[in-house]
Amino acid sequence: MASLTVRQLDEKIKKQLRLRAARNGRSVEDEVRTILRGAASEGNTFDSLPPTEERRSLDSAREAATRRILLIIGGGIAAYKSLDLIRRLKERGAGVRCILTKAAEEFVTPLSAGAITGERVFTDLFDPQSEFDVGHIRLARECDLVVVAPATADLMAKMSGGHANDLATAVLLATDKKILLAPAMNPRMWGNAATRRNVAQLAADGAVLVGPNEGEMAERGEQGVGRMAEPLEIVAAIEGLLARPAAGRPLAGKRVIVTSGPTHEPIDPVRYIANRSSGKQGHAIAAAAAAAGADVTLVSGPVALPDPSGVAVVKVETAQEMLKAVEAALPADAAVFAAAVADWRVGEPKAQKIKKGGKTPPLTLTENPDILATIAGRKTKRPKLVVGFAAETERVIENARDKLRGKGCDWIVANDVSPSTGILGGDRNTVHLVSASGVDSWPPQSKDQVAKTLVARIAAALGQAR
Ligand code: CTP
């Protein structure tokens, strides 16, 4: 094959290349590779993929095609699946550079990873040759995404503590790119309080997780949550993270209704029954849906929050008003009921302020309409996807399952709102997505991140329902 160096190109092209490389934060050599890879993949179609491969999204495959992934393989039995992951990424035209931890070398060799990536594999922080050639800082920066698969308990513990005593951890600490973690470990290690803390910290630091899944472990007789996500699931997560802004509006053309905040149920003109909901989660969902391109109507009870930008906000006080406003906003593709609707209202609120001094007034309560159940049960104009929340203080999953069935919705986002969690009014949330197909527990994260993840799930579900 003929060889060509950048030096042989004419000055004008070199200048354009330098500018382009600087804009994209790559070296000139990498920019050339990216351009060539892009050109070579122009003729790529899914016909060249295995026939069993789902023909999911040509666009997202093209997105990944010009991107560079830095794959850090940790030391776990799932490391063998990472070789398949490399192959899947290469099929899609992505460039893959690989770092193996010392422990990973017990499971896969630099030779096998190098043969599949077609590139040199990096293993040692103190190897003078690789420091001279590339250096750990360039490794950390010359990529579009860092993927850690398998992300072992030990590697995640080091990451959450900011360690940098080997090449993998030094690169993870030095990178300015998004990090995707595909955890894999024994279920007891995954459930251990130390791992829970580390995962929560990493999610708070902005890392994104894919998996782990539930199933059988490599160790005989072990079963539970801890299996690394399958390579194609990791590829899907990578494609999602690499989607460029145009493709990052997966809800364009969709209508979404969100309810948020508490309701106030009047006792008299100055008093009311309320609850502690701040509306932060519902408002964050409305904002995330709008950012994803949806046409959003937010029906909000009284909150002390600014209106999210790009969202039509309908302000209401009571549950009855909220139901009316939601019905008026139909039809919609998806509806998310995040409001903490008062279950009861005062049967006959007084027209004048109740004065003390006389008999203590009895409060007769009447049950409010269940907005979620009403909309989920509609024969006409039922949104394709109806999502409820379940704020619980005990038996979180069981209660959520009951609500899923009882209210006829498609998903329940369940959370523990016991006072000790600080979720009500706080900025963070720990949720479980409960649907007919199972329970997906997300690590503790900011309410904004919960909103983004939920919106991505909604977009995926609506995309499949198309
Ligand atoms: N919900 C609703 N209308 C109501 C009550 C609740 O739309 N009148 C919705 C909430 O927005 C949420 C879901 O139903 O999406 C569950 O709300 P939650 O308060 O957790 O449950 P409740 O049905 O009120 O039951 P309980 O208070 O007994 O747990």
**CA 318/CA 257 separation, integer angstroms:** 17
Residue 253: exposed, middle, or buried by beta-carbon count in 10 A (0-12, 13-18, 19+)?
exposed
- pTM (predicted TM-score): 0.54
- The confidence band for 414, taking pLDDT boundaries of 50, 70 and 90, is very high
In this structure, of 308-322, 323-337, 370-384, the range with the lowest mean pLDDT score is: 308-322
Ligand 1 contacts CB of residue 370 (under 6 A)? yes
Question: What is the whole-number distance in angstroms between the Cα of residue 357 and the centre of ligand 1?
Answer: 36
| Residue 51: pLDDT over 50 | no
Question: What is the whole-number distance in angstroms between the Cα of residue 343 and the centre of ligand 1?
Answer: 7
More confident site: 306 or 325: 325
Torsion of CA 386, 391, 392, 393, to 10 degrees: 170
Question: What is the whole-number distance in angstroms between the Cα of residue 146 and the centre of ligand 1?
Answer: 40
Question: What is the whole-number distance in angstroms between the Cα of residue 329 and the centre of ligand 1?
Answer: 20
Run of H or E including 226: strand 223-227
Report pLDDT digits (tens) over 235-264: 988 887 886 545 568 998 899 999 999 999
Nearest protein Cα to ligand 1, atom 18: 390
Question: Can you give the pLDDT at residue 246?
Answer: 52
More confident site: 383 or 221: 383
Ligand 1 contacts CB of residue 388 (under 6 A)? yes
Nearest protein Cα to ligand 1, atom 4: 370
| Residue 49: pLDDT over 60 | no
Q: How many helices (H) and strands (E) does the chain have?
A: 17, 22
- The confidence band for 104, taking pLDDT boundaries of 50, 70 and 90, is very high
CB 385 within 8 A of CB 333: yes
Choice from 277, 321, 337 to test ligand 1 binding pocket (greatest atom count within 8 A of CB): 337
- Average of per-residue pLDDT across 92-117: 95
Choice from 403, 410, 418, 432 to test ligand 1 binding pocket (greatest atom count within 8 A of CB): 403
- The confidence band for 57, taking pLDDT boundaries of 50, 70 and 90, is very low
- The confidence band for 173, taking pLDDT boundaries of 50, 70 and 90, is very high
The residues that are catalytic are 275
Ligand 1 contacts CB of residue 390 (under 6 A)? yes
Ligand 1 contacts CB of residue 257 (under 6 A)? no
| Residue 92: pLDDT over 90 | no
Please give the structure tokens belonging to residue 242: 């690499």
| Residue 178: pLDDT over 60 | yes
Question: What is the whole-number distance in angstroms between the Cα of residue 369 and the centre of ligand 1?
Answer: 10
Characterise 306 by phi-psi region: left (phi > 0), alpha (psi -120 to 50), beta (else): beta
Atom of ligand 1 nearest to the CA of 388: 15
- Average of per-residue pLDDT across 448-461: 93
Choice from 298, 336, 345, 389 to test ligand 1 binding pocket (greatest atom count within 8 A of CB): 389
- The confidence band for 55, taking pLDDT boundaries of 50, 70 and 90, is very low
Please, what are the domains in the chain?
26-35+59-242 (3.40.50.1950), 255-345+364-465 (3.40.50.10300)
Residue 212: cis peptide before it, omega within 30 degrees of 0? yes
Ligand 1 contacts CB of residue 122 (under 6 A)? no
In this structure, of 29-38, 140-149, 301-310, the range with the lowest mean pLDDT score is: 29-38
CB 298 within 8 A of CB 339: no
**Three-state secondary structure call for residue 14:** helix
- The confidence band for 25, taking pLDDT boundaries of 50, 70 and 90, is low
Phi (first) and psi of residue 93, to 5 degrees: 90, 0
Measuring CA to CA, which residue among 238, 87, 102 is closest to residue 177? 238
Helix spans in 118-192 (H): 128-133, 136-141, 153-161, 167-174, 187-191
Q: Identify the bridge partners of residue 307 per DSSP, sorted by sequence position.
A: none
Nearest protein Cα to ligand 1, atom 20: 390
Question: Can you give the pLDDT at residue 264?
Answer: 98
Atom of ligand 1 nearest to the CA of 374: 7
Question: What is the whole-number distance in angstroms between the Cα of residue 334 and the centre of ligand 1?
Answer: 18
**CA 191/CA 202 separation, integer angstroms:** 16
Q: What 3 state SS string does 43-112 have? A: CCCHHHCCCCCCCCCHHHHHHHHCCEEEEEECCCCCHHHHHHHHHHHHHCCCEEEEEECCCHHHCCCHHH
What does the mean pLDDT of the chain come to?
Answer: 86
The vertex-310 CA angle with 306 and 311, nearest 5°, equals 70
- Average of per-residue pLDDT across 18-40: 70
| Residue 65: pLDDT over 60 | no
Ligand 1 contacts CB of residue 341 (under 6 A)? yes
Question: What is the whole-number distance in angstroms between the Cα of residue 292 and the centre of ligand 1?
Answer: 26
Nearest protein Cα to ligand 1, atom 12: 389
Question: Can you give the pLDDT at residue 433?
Answer: 94
CB neighbourhood size of 24 (10 A): 13
Ligand 1 contacts CB of residue 339 (under 6 A)? yes
In this structure, of 241-255, 330-344, 434-448, the range with the lowest mean pLDDT score is: 241-255
Question: Can you give the pLDDT at residue 155?
Answer: 98
Please give the structure tokens belonging to residue 308: 């999210």
Ligand 1 contacts CB of residue 391 (under 6 A)? yes
Ligand 1 contacts CB of residue 389 (under 6 A)? yes
Ligand 1 contacts CB of residue 322 (under 6 A)? no
| Residue 63: pLDDT over 60 | no
* Cα distance from N-terminal residue to C-terminal residue, the chain: 46
- Average of per-residue pLDDT across 455-461: 93
Q: What 3 state SS string does 235-289 have? A: HHHHHHHHCCCCCCCCCCCCEEEEEECECCEECCCCCEECCCCCCHHHHHHHHHH
Report pLDDT digits (tens) over 263-295: 999 999 999 999 999 999 999 999 999 999 898
More confident site: 35 or 352: 352
- Average of per-residue pLDDT across 119-124: 92
| Residue 59: pLDDT over 60 | no
| Residue 217: pLDDT over 80 | no
Question: Can you give the pLDDT at residue 248?
Answer: 66
- The confidence band for 451, taking pLDDT boundaries of 50, 70 and 90, is very high
Residue 51: exposed, middle, or buried by beta-carbon count in 10 A (0-12, 13-18, 19+)?
exposed
Measuring CA to CA, which residue among 343, 353, 303, 297 is closest to residue 320? 343
- Average of per-residue pLDDT across 184-197: 94
| Dihedral sign for Cα atoms in the order 218, 223, 225, 229 | positive
CB 320 within 8 A of CB 345: yes
The vertex-70 CA angle with 68 and 74, nearest 5°, equals 155
Question: What is the whole-number distance in angstroms between the Cα of residue 419 and the centre of ligand 1?
Answer: 18
Please give the structure tokens belonging to residue 219: 């160790």
Choice from 264, 273, 366, 370 to test ligand 1 binding pocket (greatest atom count within 8 A of CB): 370
- The confidence band for 116, taking pLDDT boundaries of 50, 70 and 90, is very high
SS percent in the chain: helix, strand, coil, step 5:
40, 20, 40
More confident site: 12 or 59: 12
Question: What is the whole-number distance in angstroms between the Cα of residue 415 and the centre of ligand 1?
Answer: 12
